[in-house]
Chain A
Amino acid sequence: MAILELLEVSKRFGGLQAVNRCSFAVEERTITGLIGPNGAGKSTLFNLISGVLRPDRGRILFQGEEIQGLKPHQIARRGLGRTFQLSRIFPKLTLWENLMVVTEDAPRARALLELAGLWPLRDHYAYELSFGQQKLLDLIRVMMLEPRLVLLDEPAAGINPTMRNRILEVIQLLNAQGTTFLIIEHDMDVIMEHCHWVIALNFGEVIAQGPPEAVRTDEEVLRAYFGG
């Protein structure tokens, strides 16, 4: 069953058609990858789904209900969480407070901090964390929403391999426990290894979708990435 459905969603910035009649569905309990070259409209799509931007036209259904036009906080409260490409943790709050602002569920916060291996650092200010730790914090913070679906914008980009594996592990585990993920990712190996389904975007349009193996060899996807 689809937890998220986009129907003919479009968004225009001045002269640029950032997202063009985009339609796709994300199946419940999957890790779905969203790929595409730079400027393909991936981040814009995330902004549209999470309510940061409003689509010009089209409908977005989350658990069967229309959410386009809702405010970001309303969408979050319905159980649709997101992270940003650059972690947007609250730097001058402690780790513990970073989780508590979302909801005051102490057992859950502790479980998540332990899961991420950040429990010993709970009393530190978030800006005192390393870059990779900040990404982890960002990930577990969004889990405080008890989300059904989480949009992750390059959760494992730009950090050392150990930390990256740790983040991917946490994602796998959370997915196994029932959370659906839609992930923007550039690393094809990550996509191949972790995703159940892949959607490829170019110029704001869906150019291919299917199981990772099929999308990787799709001619149109290859053209989008390598030109020609």
Chain B
Amino acid sequence: MMDELQVFVEFALRGLLIGALYSLMALGLSLIFGVMRVINVAHGEFLMIGGYVAYFAWAWTQLSPLATLLISVPALFALGVALERFLVERVVGKPELASLMLTFGISITLWNLAHALFSPDPRSVPYLYEPLELLGIYISKASLMIFAASLGLAALLVLFLKGTRWGKAIRAVAQNPEVAQACGIDTRRVRMLAFGLGAGLAGAAGTFVPIQFSLFPGVGHEFILKAFAVVVLGGLGSLGGAFTSGLLLGVVESLITFYANAHVAYLTFYATIVGVLLLRPAGLFGTGLVEED
């Protein structure tokens, strides 16, 4: 009986730790959607590229894998800003069809580019292998570090959004672009910033991929689907919702993987998407998308 409880807690905890990674990715998706009304289908590829940047930074400089965040996040931020400036900006305010197809095109391009450049071989970064024991529960140290780093990044994002001028501008544009513009906010630059931040967050999540899982050019595909499930559950555009439901789905996935199998756990994500749409189209947490006038 005690053992069963212990196993349950152990797997729930593992899921929670992995969930932080989903949260990080979903935060970026939600931020971009909130500011630009664009679903970034290429978000999984941002994660993948973040992973490769971090991997090569680690392989060439032998930095601590966590320290490579200092390289991968700015690199992805720059990539995001550039993509926004030259491509995505042109479809802002256009029908969803345009932005969905554009980011889909970007996604396929980046994926196959990575495939050509980095080869399809999976890569991983060995880091803090040995598990930590606590009251008979085993948890990998790497997961704990990743979890802590993710929480830290999320906290930084919140501080930035609440405390700085640019952060406030982002929130203003997310609430009402016309009013924000009328108040003298340069909405074009805010969109660049938001897209860059979103990409940076995906890059951070990607940094953890070769540590926790394995990294290959198609890795973004699996993650984008999970992240989509997370943002649907949390309500598109809601940051709090994205973060909470990322953790929640991490736990659920881990438990189902243990009690059933990985296939069924994977299906849970899609069941979540359809279920939420059926019952509460606006998502569980967010006010979601109210039809605007």
Q: Do A and B bind each other?
A: yes
Q: CB-CB < 8 A to B290: which residues of A?
A: 13
Judged by a CB distance under 8 angstroms, whether B291 is at the interface is: yes
* A-B residue pair count with CB separations less than 8 angstroms: 10
Q: Are A14 and B287 in contact (CB under 8 A)?
A: yes
Judged by a CB distance under 8 angstroms, whether A172 is at the interface is: no
- Complex Cα–Cα for A54 and B293 (A): 14
Q: CB-CB < 8 A to A84: which residues of B?
A: 293
Task: Count chain B residues whose beta carbon lies closer than 8 angstroms to a beta carbon of A.
Answer: 4
The closest CB in chain A to the CB of B293 belongs to A43
Q: CB-CB < 8 A to B291: which residues of A?
A: 47, 52-53
Q: Are A47 and B293 in contact (CB under 8 A)?
A: yes
Query: In B205-256, which residues have CB < 8 Å from any A CB?
Result: none
Query: In A61-103, which residues have CB < 8 Å from any B CB?
Result: 84-85
The smallest beta-carbon distance between B240 and chain A, in angstroms, is 14
Residue among B287, B290, B293 facing the most chain A CB atoms (10 A cut-off)? B293
- Complex Cα–Cα for A181 and B293 (A): 20
The closest CB in chain A to the CB of B290 belongs to A13
The closest CB in chain B to the CB of A85 belongs to B293
The smallest beta-carbon distance between B235 and chain A, in angstroms, is 13
Q: CB-CB < 8 A to A53: which residues of B?
A: 291
Query: In A1-45, which residues have CB < 8 Å from any B CB?
Result: 13-14, 43
The smallest beta-carbon distance between B238 and chain A, in angstroms, is 12
Q: CB-CB < 8 A to A14: which residues of B?
A: 287
The smallest beta-carbon distance between A96 and chain B, in angstroms, is 23
The closest CB in chain A to the CB of B287 belongs to A14
The smallest beta-carbon distance between A67 and chain B, in angstroms, is 18
- Complex Cα–Cα for A85 and B287 (A): 24
- Complex Cα–Cα for A14 and B235 (A): 15
- Complex Cα–Cα for A85 and B293 (A): 8
- Complex Cα–Cα for A47 and B293 (A): 8
- Complex Cα–Cα for A58 and B287 (A): 22
- Complex Cα–Cα for A52 and B291 (A): 8
Q: CB-CB < 8 A to B287: which residues of A?
A: 13-14
Query: In B247-286, which residues have CB < 8 Å from any A CB?
Result: none
The smallest beta-carbon distance between B132 and chain A, in angstroms, is 42
- Complex Cα–Cα for A43 and B290 (A): 14
- Complex Cα–Cα for A87 and B34 (A): 25
The smallest beta-carbon distance between A163 and chain B, in angstroms, is 23
- Complex Cα–Cα for A53 and B291 (A): 8
Name B residues whose Cβ lies closer than 8 Å to a Cβ of A. Answer: 287, 290-291, 293
Given contacts A14-B287, A53-B291, 8 further A-B contacts (CB under 8 A): A13-B287, A13-B290, A43-B293, A47-B291, A47-B293, A52-B291, A84-B293, A85-B293
